[in-house]
Chains A and B, each alone.
Chain A
Amino acid sequence: MTKANLAYLGRRLLQAVVVLWASYTLTFIILHLLPSDPMQTILQSRGQDDASAQEIAALAHQYGLDRPVLVQYAAMMLAALHGDLGVSYMQGESVSGLIASRLGMTLGVSLLAIALAVVVAFGLAFLAAYTRHPALRGLLGFVPNVTISVPIFWVGLLLMQVFSFSLGWLPAMGADGWETMVLPVVTMSIPPAALLGRMLMNGFDEALASPFITAARARGLGRGRLVLRHVVKNGSLPAFTVLGMIVGSTVTGAIVAETVFSRQGVGMLIQQSVQAQDIPVVQGCVLLAAAAFVVINLAVDMIYPVFDPRIIVRTAGKERS
C-alpha cells in the first residue's frame, strides 16, 4: 500500500472516530440536557407517579442522576465503550441485554431488504442504460421517483391487506418461519431501492453522456461492453455516497415495518421506548444505529478508492491547503 493510501485510510479512520463521538455527545445533550425533569420521566415510565422524596432520591442515585452532568457524560461514555449501555427506566433491565435479544431478527430482515434493494436498483438502472427504447427508459426512470414519495407505513399496510387478508398467501404478523419475513423485507426494501435506483440511474445517465463514452463509442466499443465496463463503473460512483444514508433509512424502515407487522425487533423496541420516554433504551439504540452508520461509511471509504483512484489525490490536496 502506498503512503498516500495509508494516509487516506488513516484520515478516514480518524474521522469515523470523531463522528462516533459526536453522535454520542449529541444524543447525550438531547436526551439528558433537554428534558426538564428526568426524575419525573423515570417515575412516569414506571407508572409510579407519587413517590416519596426518599424513593425519588434512591432512584436518582441508582441511575446515577445525582452526579454532575459532566461526570455522567464521561461515565456513560466509558461504560458504552465497554458495552454497558445503561439500565432501562421502565423495567430496570440492561439496555444491552434488551437490544441483544432483538437484534438478530432486525438484522436478518434489514440485510435481506438491503440486498433486495441493491439487486432491484442495479437491475432497473442497467436496463434503463442498456435499452434503446426511450419510452421504456422514461418509464423505468419514473419508478424510483414515484416510490420515493410513498411512505412505507402505507405500503406495508397495503401489502398486508392484499397479500395477507385478501389473498391469504402470507401471514400478517408474527415472527416464526420465513413466510413472516417476506412482507417486511419487501416493505423495507422500497426506500433504499428507490434512493439507490435514482442515484444509479442519474449516475448512469451522466456517464453515458460524458465525453469519454462518446470517444469510446467512436473507437468501436459496442453497447454491451461499453455499458458494462465504463458506464456501470463510473456511473455507480455517486451512489457510493448514499450507502450511509441507506443505513439510516433502513433503521427508520425497521421501526415502521416492525410496528406495522408486529415484530419484536429493535425497531419495535425503539418505538415503545420513545413512547414511554425510556431514555437509556433510546440512547442505546440510537448509539447502535450511529455506530452502524459510521462503520458502513468507513467501509465505503475503504472500498471507494478501488473504483475511483482520484479520491486519494483529491482529498490529500484539500487537506493540505
Chain B
Amino acid sequence: MNAANGNRTESAGTPALEVADVSVTYRTKRRTVEAVRHVSFRADAGSVLAIVGESGSGKSTIVNALLGLLPQGTDVEGRFLLEGRDMTHADERDWLSVRGGLIGFVPQDPQSSLDPTMRIGDQIAEIVRLHRGREAGDVRAESLRLLAEVGIDDPGLRARQYPHELSGGLKQRVLIAQALAGDPRIIVADEPTSALDVTVQKVVLDLLASLVRRRGITLVMITHDLAVAADRADRILVMLHGEAIEQNDTATLLAHPSRDYTRRLLALVPKIDNGNGGDGAMADGASATDGNDGDDERTAVSWLDVTREYRAAVSERAPHGVLTAVDHVSLKAYRGRTLAIVGESGSGKSTLLSMALALNKPTSGAVRVLGDDLGALRGRALRQARRNFQLVQQNPFDSLDPSLTVRQSIEEPLRAFGYGTAARREVRVRELVDRVALPQTVLKARPGELSGGQSQRVAIARALAVEPQLVFLDEPVSALDVSVQDQILRLLAGLQRDLGLTYVFVSHNLAVVSEIADDVAVMCRGRLVEYGTVERVLRHPAEAYTRQLLDAIPGRG
C-alpha cells in the first residue's frame, strides 16, 4: 500500500481537481435517473485518487462529467473545477480546449478503443498534432518518443502496425501514450486493467505509477477492485448508488473504514495467507498423479498424458500452424475435494475442463471420469454417463436459454434423463430452488429478469438436478460483482459439505481459488507447471511462474 510518495510536492493552493456537491441527472423521454448525488471530493496535484465502486455506483458518470462527455439534456448541479477552471457549465468549445491538453483519458477496453482502420503511429500523431503543433518531423519524432516512454519495444515497427496486430497489453500502453500525447496535468484512467491478465495488469499499473511520478500528473483511477486502489492510490473514494459514501487517504481508510459497505469491500480483498480450502479429508502430500495410472475409489477425474492440438494460423504460439492448447498434462482430482485449475488466458485450463466434460476429444491421452473412459463412450452411453458430472458456466447471462423460464431450465436435465413423472420433477425443482436459496417465485421468471447472482444460482440448481457426484465449474464467479461473488462461493462450499460433492474449478483468479479449493494445479501455455495443496502452492510456490502469478495479485502488499 502506497503512502505519499516522496517525489511529489505537497499541494499548496489550488487542487488539481475539485468536485463540489455535484449531482448529475439524466433525463430521457421515459424517465429521469439521478446517477450521481451530492458528490464532493478533491485531488491534489501529483496525487493518485482512486474512485472505487461497483456497476451502477455512478463512477462512469463522474468520468463522463470530468471529460465533458455527458449526453445532451443532462442536468448538472454543483461545481467542478479542473485546475481552478470551472467546467460545470462549459460548452463544447471550452471542452475542446481542455480535453487532451489539460485532462487526458485512458479508456477501459483496449480491444475497442482504437480505430481499427488506422495505423498506431497515425493515431498517436493525430493527438500530438492536435495539441502540440504541426511540424511533420516533430510530430513523428514525438509519437515515437511517446511509444518508447510507455515501454513499447521497437516503436518504429509498432507505429506502422494496425491495432489488431497488437496484444491487449500493448494496446493498453498505446492508449496511455495517447493520453500523454497532449501533455495533460490530469489523467483519468477508467478501469485501466480489468480487461487484462493479472501479470499484464501489474506491469501496466507500474507503468502508470512511474509516469505519474515522473511527470507530476494527477491520476484519477476508476476501479471496482479495492485491492488495486489499496496498492496504488493515495486517496480512495468509495461510491455506492451514486453517492460518495466514504473518502479518506488510503492508509486511514483501510485501517479504519467508517461505513459497512467499505468494510464489506475490504473483507473481500483476498488474503492469500489463509488458505481456507474446502473440507477435504485427504492428507497433504498427494501428488498430481499418485504415480499410477489406475484409478482407485479416491479418484474422481484423471487426465492421463492428455494433449490437445488445433490447426491454426501460423503465429508465435502456433509454429508450423499447430496450436497446442494442452501439452501432455497428467492430473487427478480426488473425491470430496475441490481441485482448482488456475492459469491465465491461453493456459489451456478451459480446454482441460471441456475434455473432462466430453465436449472435446483429446488429440492423445485419455480422460477418465468416475471410472469411465470418456473417449470410449458414445451416443446413449455417453449421455447416461453425463448424469454423474455436471457443469456450472462462467457467464450467467448466457448459460440459461432466454426463451425458457427458470423452471424449464432447471427441469431440462431431469427430463433428459427421464426422471420420474411430471409431479416428481416439480417437487425436485422446488427442492433445488430452496437449496440455492432462491424464492419459489423465481421459477416463473425468465433469465432476462434475473441478476447475475440469481442466474448463477439457477445454473447451480440445474447442475445439481440429477444428483451428480462431480461438478465442474468454469470461472463461476468471475463475471459477478464482488459482493455477490462471496455469496456464491459460500453457497458452493455449503453445497459441497451437505451433498459430498467433488468440485473441479477453473479460474484465473488465485485469490478466489484460495478461498474454496483444496488442491490447485497451475497451468501455463498448455503445460502443467505446478500442483499441490492450496496451502503449499500458495505459501511456498516452487515454480517461478507460480511466484509471478502470486506477485501480480493486487492487494497483497
Contact A316 B313 (CB under 8 A): yes
Instruction: Determine whether A138 belongs to the interface, using a CB cutoff of 8 Å to chain B.
Output: no
Complex CA–CA separation, A219 to B67 (angstroms): 9
Q: How many A-B residue pairs have CB under 8 A?
A: 87
Q: Say whether, besides A218-B67, A313-B164, A307 and B99 are in contact (CB < 8 Å).
A: no
Q: Say whether, besides A212-B113, A234-B115, A316-B313, A219 and B105 are in contact (CB < 8 Å).
A: yes
Contact B117 A234 (CB under 8 A): yes
Contact B116 A310 (CB under 8 A): yes
Contact B105 A222 (CB under 8 A): no
Contact B107 A310 (CB under 8 A): no
Interface residues on A, range: 20 to 34
CB distance from A307 to the nearest CB of B (A): 6
Contact A317 B107 (CB under 8 A): no
Contact with B along A222-256 (1 / 0, CB 8 A): 11010001100110010000000000000000000
Contact with A along B171-190 (1 / 0, CB 8 A): 00001001101100000000
Contact B311 A320 (CB under 8 A): yes
Instruction: Determine whether A217 belongs to the interface, using a CB cutoff of 8 Å to chain B.
Output: yes
Q: Say whether, besides A233-B117, A309-B162, A310-B116, A215 and B96 are in contact (CB < 8 Å).
A: no
Contact B117 A307 (CB under 8 A): yes
Complex CA–CA separation, A309 to B161 (angstroms): 10
Residues of A within 8 A of B131 (CB): 220
Residues of B within 8 A of A234 (CB): 115-117
CB distance from B23 to the nearest CB of A (A): 22
Complex interface residues of chain B between 111 and 137 (CB less than 8 A to chain A)? 112-118, 126-127, 130-131
Residues of B within 8 A of A216 (CB): 115
Count, chain B residues at interface, CB 8 A: 36
Residues of B within 8 A of A210 (CB): 112
CB distance from A294 to the nearest CB of B (A): 26
Contact A309 B117 (CB under 8 A): yes
Contact B114 A218 (CB under 8 A): no
Complex interface residues of chain B between 508 and 536 (CB less than 8 A to chain A)? none
Point out the residue from A214, A221, A310 that lies within 8 Å of B69, measured CB to CB.
A214
Complex CA–CA separation, A250 to B374 (angstroms): 58
Residues of A within 8 A of B117 (CB): 233-234, 237, 307-309
Complex CA–CA separation, A215 to B115 (angstroms): 10
Contact with A along B21-37 (1 / 0, CB 8 A): 00000000000000000
Residues of B within 8 A of A320 (CB): 311-313, 321
Residue of B nearest to A216 (CB): B115
Residues of A within 8 A of B67 (CB): 217-218
CB distance from A320 to the nearest CB of B (A): 6
Instruction: Determine whether A92 belongs to the interface, using a CB cutoff of 8 Å to chain B.
Output: no
Point out the residue from A219, A221, A229, A317 that lies within 8 Å of B313, measured CB to CB.
A317
Contact A219 B127 (CB under 8 A): yes
Contact B130 A220 (CB under 8 A): yes
Contact A211 B113 (CB under 8 A): yes
Instruction: Determine whether A91 belongs to the interface, using a CB cutoff of 8 Å to chain B.
Output: no
Complex CA–CA separation, A269 to B335 (angstroms): 80
CB distance from A132 to the nearest CB of B (A): 8
Residue of B nearest to A318 (CB): B313
CB distance from B63 to the nearest CB of A (A): 9
Complex CA–CA separation, A165 to B310 (angstroms): 70
Point out the residue from A211, A214, A219, A316 that lies within 8 Å of B100, measured CB to CB.
A219
Instruction: Determine whether B109 belongs to the interface, using a CB cutoff of 8 Å to chain A.
Output: yes
Residues of A within 8 A of B112 (CB): 210-212
Contact B99 A217 (CB under 8 A): yes
Contact A221 B113 (CB under 8 A): no
CB distance from B164 to the nearest CB of A (A): 5
Instruction: Determine whether B104 belongs to the interface, using a CB cutoff of 8 Å to chain A.
Output: yes
Instruction: Determine whether A149 belongs to the interface, using a CB cutoff of 8 Å to chain B.
Output: no
CB distance from B234 to the nearest CB of A (A): 24
Point out the residue from B104, B115, B310, B312 that lies within 8 Å of A212, measured CB to CB.
B115
Point out the residue from A221, A223, A237 that lies within 8 Å of B126, measured CB to CB.
A221
Residue of A nearest to B98 (CB): A220
Residue of A nearest to B114 (CB): A212
Complex CA–CA separation, A250 to B101 (angstroms): 50
CB distance from B124 to the nearest CB of A (A): 10
Residue of B nearest to A319 (CB): B313
Complex interface residues of chain A between 298 and 321 (CB less than 8 A to chain B)? 307-310, 313, 316-317, 320-321
CB distance from A318 to the nearest CB of B (A): 10
Contact A220 B101 (CB under 8 A): yes
Residues of A within 8 A of B130 (CB): 219-221, 225
CB distance from A131 to the nearest CB of B (A): 13
Residues of A within 8 A of B179 (CB): 219
Residue of A nearest to B67 (CB): A218
Contact with A along B61-79 (1 / 0, CB 8 A): 0000001010000000000
Complex interface residues of chain A between 269 and 321 (CB less than 8 A to chain B)? 307-310, 313, 316-317, 320-321
CB distance from B71 to the nearest CB of A (A): 11
A-B contact pairs, 16 of them (CB 8 A): A212-B113, A215-B113, A215-B114, A217-B69, A218-B99, A218-B105, A219-B99, A219-B105, A219-B178, A219-B182, A220-B98, A225-B130, A230-B118, A233-B118, A309-B164, A321-B312
Other than A211-B112, A219-B127, A310-B116, give 18 A-B pairs with Cβ distance below 8 A.
Answer: A212-B113, A212-B116, A215-B107, A218-B99, A218-B100, A218-B105, A219-B99, A219-B104, A219-B178, A219-B181, A220-B96, A220-B98, A220-B100, A220-B127, A230-B115, A237-B117, A320-B311, A320-B321
The 9 A-B residue pairs with the shortest CB-CB distance, nearest first, are A220-B100, A218-B105, A220-B99, A215-B107, A211-B112, A215-B113, A219-B100, A218-B67, A309-B162
Chain B interface (Cβ within 8 Å of chain A)? Answer: 67, 69, 92, 96, 98-101, 104-105, 107-109, 112-118, 126-127, 130-131, 162, 164, 175, 178-179, 181-182, 310-313, 321
